[in-house]
Amino acid sequence: MCGLAGFLIPGASEPHWPQALERMGDALNHRGPDDRGMWLDPACGLGMVHRRLSILDLSEKGRQPMFSLSRRYVVVYNGEIFNFRELRKELSATAPHAFQSQSDTEVLLACVEQWGLKEAVGRLIGMFAFALWDRRENILHLVRDRLGIKPLYYGSVKGGLAFASELKALKHMPGFQKAIDRSSVSRLLRYGYIPAPYCIYKNVYKLPPGTILSVPRNSDGDLPSPVPFWSLRQAFETGLHKPFQGSSEDAADELEARLRESVRLRLISDVGLGAFLSGGTDSSLVVSLMQKQMNRPAKTFCVGFDNPHFDESTYAREVAQRLGCDHINLKVTAKMALDSIPRLPEIYDEPFADASQIPTFLVSKLTRGHVTVALSGDGGDELFGGYSRYGQTRSIWNTLHGWPGSLRSVLASLLRMTPPGIFPDPKTPYRLRKLAEICTFANEDSLYEGMVSYWDSPDSVVLDGNGDPDLFQSRRPLPEGLDDFRRMMYLDTLTYLPDDILTKVDRASMAVGLEVRVPLLDHRVVEFLWRLPHSLHVDETSPKLLLRKVLARHIDPALFDRPKKGFSLPLSDWLRGPLREWAESLLNEDRLRREGFFDPSPIRYRWREHLQGKCDWKYHLWNVLMFQAWLERHSG
């Protein structure tokens, strides 16, 4: 894994470009501590810089920026092409290619020369984000993988374009404007993350997954729109017209074969390799298929908590023992977790409020002490319908949609009037208020967006917010033929998966120089799943039925047949206890007024209710706290 950055600023003469590029690269050292490279073409106004984490071909021959054999193309690249050996063999059989290294970067360039960019990218199996400069056509191409595993930011700056793996590199561009987009602050409060293509800064964007942004050198300054080379919509529509024909056992056989192949490709490495193992269905299946293809015990890693409500480490240890893995577990104390919080604004260099970022960082840090590459089970919930909110949304809508609107409005009013202090469990009044909110929704899509939202009216909190209230608006119209249950899975795969889950894992792991690979998100697995009829793909009464069927072939179901806990932590108690002083300083009323982003009243109201144990506002407060901590670190 690596970090990349650069710019295309035609007609600009800047004597400090080399120093600026070097600073941009240095900001990404954590992503690539093993090697560095830079290329600058002053005549074109094009600069590229790279920081390398050596995984394949550890020699200098894998150094970037790298030129194609004809020197038409030059690339800076972050990620892994897992089928690069097969592609290399195919290229060598059809045309003479004098490969100079064993790196997948060189194969990527040869593919582009042989087949052109779009066809070449369509042949790649992997996770990647790269910038490719076509020296003949004078076009810069920015490319991001199909599911959004690897990040890429871009934006207008000083008469041109700048790009980088992380925002911290863009800030070193001369002329970069750190103007905070208040609409994105509203989005953060509502969802806990800032969905693509938006960013915390104005005029800076996340490149959407599965797209190519092509910018000619002689463009008039207006950036073109990214063009898809792959889409989930296309995968669904292809599956609709060419559905899987077979039984449940046939589907399990096909899924297992595809996952086995996906894991096999992701075991290719010239450095030490292991896996995250939580003991849940997804990671247990990945490790099962991994161990079957290794001739030594797989190294597996887990973090646990003293509080049994949040700890799954016992299950992880039992799965590891059953599979014969070399398992390493770290029991996380409150102090260890709390000590990591000051690092979060630097690791996530735009505000990010998924609190499981803390255990994700800690397990990444643990793992990096032993290996350089780790496999994970991310993506299973979105692909196999694992979130409980899918069934909850269906049940709530089935109950409410037949009620007259007037009756639902009355119910919502009564729920809002319920005094929070009368319940022994502070989660109860929060759930009642959430129910009051969703009583007012007119359709199931709106209801689901309410289910995945925190602040229901963030613009009433964010001063001059003007945030788009609809997370799913840019994803509409949805494909014809999507049933309501899989609509939620589809929307999560487009939004929550890349912008929350994969962002969380990428930043936490790369902060310690660890590469994380996600076998469940091989696009061939995704495409197969969307060929399945609803009855084989999901079972609304038994989440992840197909995945569990495959896992049961490898370990006793008693090891994984239990309620899902997730990667959570006792945030409510911490905010009332060891985090209280830190939170109070960030939520201070005078401070909030002075900084001018929030109306302090609703924030202070929720903070008081939370401290008094009247209502559990941990997620609402955490979203604000993560912005405040980020602002403290990045303002000025």
pLDDT at 565: 61
Claim to verify: residue 240 and residue 186 sit in the same structural domain: no
pLDDT at 507: 97
pLDDT at 457: 87
Domain edge (last residue) among 215, 230, 245? 230
d(CA 291, CA 277): 12
Strand partners, 40: 47
Q: What's the mean pLDDT in 605-633?
A: 95
In a domain, 391, yes or no: no
Bigger pLDDT: 338 or 120? 120
Q: Which domain holds residue 8?
A: 2-230
Per DSSP, the three-state class of 546 is helix
d(CA 166, CA 320): 35
pLDDT at 575: 94
What is the CA 371 to chain-centroid distance, rounded?
22
Banded pLDDT at 161 (limits 50, 70, 90): very high
Within 116-191, residue ranges assigned H as helices are 117-123, 167-170, 182-191
Q: Is the pLDDT of residue 157 over 70?
A: yes
Claim to verify: residue 278 and residue 206 sit in the same structural domain: no
**What's the token pair of residue 350?**
């735009």
- N-to-C CA span, the chain: 31
Q: What's the mean pLDDT in 592-599?
A: 97
Write down the mean pLDDT value for the chain: 90
In a domain, 127, yes or no: yes
Domain with residue 18: its CATH number is 3.60.20.10
Q: Where does residue 186 rank: exposed (0-12), middle (13-18), buried (19+ CB within 10 A)?
A: buried
Position 375, amino acid: L
Q: What's the mean pLDDT in 483-501?
A: 95
pLDDT at 270: 78
d(CA 473, CA 202): 20
Claim to verify: residue 161 and residue 220 sit in the same structural domain: yes
- The tally of domains found in the chain comes to 3
Banded pLDDT at 564 (limits 50, 70, 90): low
d(CA 346, CA 351): 10
Claim to verify: residue 539 and residue 578 sit in the same structural domain: no
pLDDT at 395: 87
**CB 203, CB 162: distance < 8 Å:** no
Question: pLDDT digit string (tens) for 266-278?
Answer: 998 878 899 999 9
Question: pLDDT digit string (tens) for 172-216?
Answer: 998 888 999 999 999 999 999 999 999 999 999 999 999 999 999
**CB 390, CB 489: distance < 8 Å:** yes
**CB 383, CB 519: distance < 8 Å:** no
**CB 324, CB 317: distance < 8 Å:** no
Claim to verify: residue 190 and residue 309 sit in the same structural domain: no
Q: How much of the chain exceeds pLDDT 70, in percent? A: 95
pLDDT at 467: 63
Q: Is the pLDDT of residue 56 over 70?
A: no
In a domain, 367, yes or no: yes
Place of tokens 């991994």: 290
Angle (CA) 45 51 57, round 5°: 120
Lowest-pLDDT range, 266-270, 281-285, 327-331? 266-270
Claim to verify: residue 211 and residue 317 sit in the same structural domain: no
Lowest-pLDDT range, 75-89, 128-142, 305-319? 305-319
Bigger pLDDT: 608 or 14? 608
d(CA 179, CA 171): 11
Claim to verify: residue 238 and residue 222 sit in the same structural domain: no
Banded pLDDT at 322 (limits 50, 70, 90): very high
Q: Is the pLDDT of residue 59 over 60?
A: no
| Cα Rg of the chain (Å, integer) | 24
In a domain, 125, yes or no: yes
In a domain, 457, yes or no: no
Claim to verify: residue 225 and residue 319 sit in the same structural domain: no
Give 145's contacts (C-beta < 8 A, 6+ positions apart): 79, 124, 126, 127, 128, 129, 209, 210
Strand order in the sheet with 299-305: 326-332, 299-305, 273-276, 373-375, 515-517
Domain with residue 530: its CATH number is 3.40.50.620
Angle, helices 248-265 vs 281-292, to 10°: value is 70
Claim to verify: residue 38 and residue 169 sit in the same structural domain: yes
Strand partners, 129: 78, 144
Question: pLDDT digit string (tens) for 407-434?
Answer: 888 777 887 777 776 777 778 878 888 8
Angle, helices 388-400 vs 427-438, to 10°: value is 50
Claim to verify: residue 210 and residue 272 sit in the same structural domain: no
For residue 14, the 8-state DSSP code is -
In a domain, 138, yes or no: yes
Lowest-pLDDT range, 35-39, 373-377, 541-545, 565-569? 565-569
Claim to verify: residue 270 and residue 308 sit in the same structural domain: yes
**CB 48, CB 42: distance < 8 Å:** no
Q: Is the alpha carbon torsion for 40, 41, 47, 53 positive or negative?
A: negative
pLDDT at 302: 95
pLDDT at 469: 55
Banded pLDDT at 636 (limits 50, 70, 90): low
Lowest-pLDDT range, 133-147, 375-389, 439-453? 439-453
**CB 424, CB 373: distance < 8 Å:** no
Domain edge (last residue) among 201, 230, 259? 230
Banded pLDDT at 563 (limits 50, 70, 90): low
Q: What's the mean pLDDT in 232-251?
A: 95
pLDDT at 13: 65
Domain edge (last residue) among 174, 204, 230? 230
CA distances from residue 186 to 23, 123, 605 in whole angstroms, order as listed: 31, 39, 18
Claim to verify: residue 246 and residue 222 sit in the same structural domain: no
d(CA 565, CA 312): 8
**CB 359, CB 567: distance < 8 Å:** yes
**What's the token pair of residue 510?**
């790369």
Q: Is the pLDDT of residue 438 over 90?
A: no
In a domain, 393, yes or no: no
In a domain, 262, yes or no: yes
Per DSSP, the three-state class of 511 is coil
Q: How much of the chain exceeds pLDDT 90, in percent? A: 65
Length of the chain: 636
Q: Is the pLDDT of residue 97 over 80?
A: no
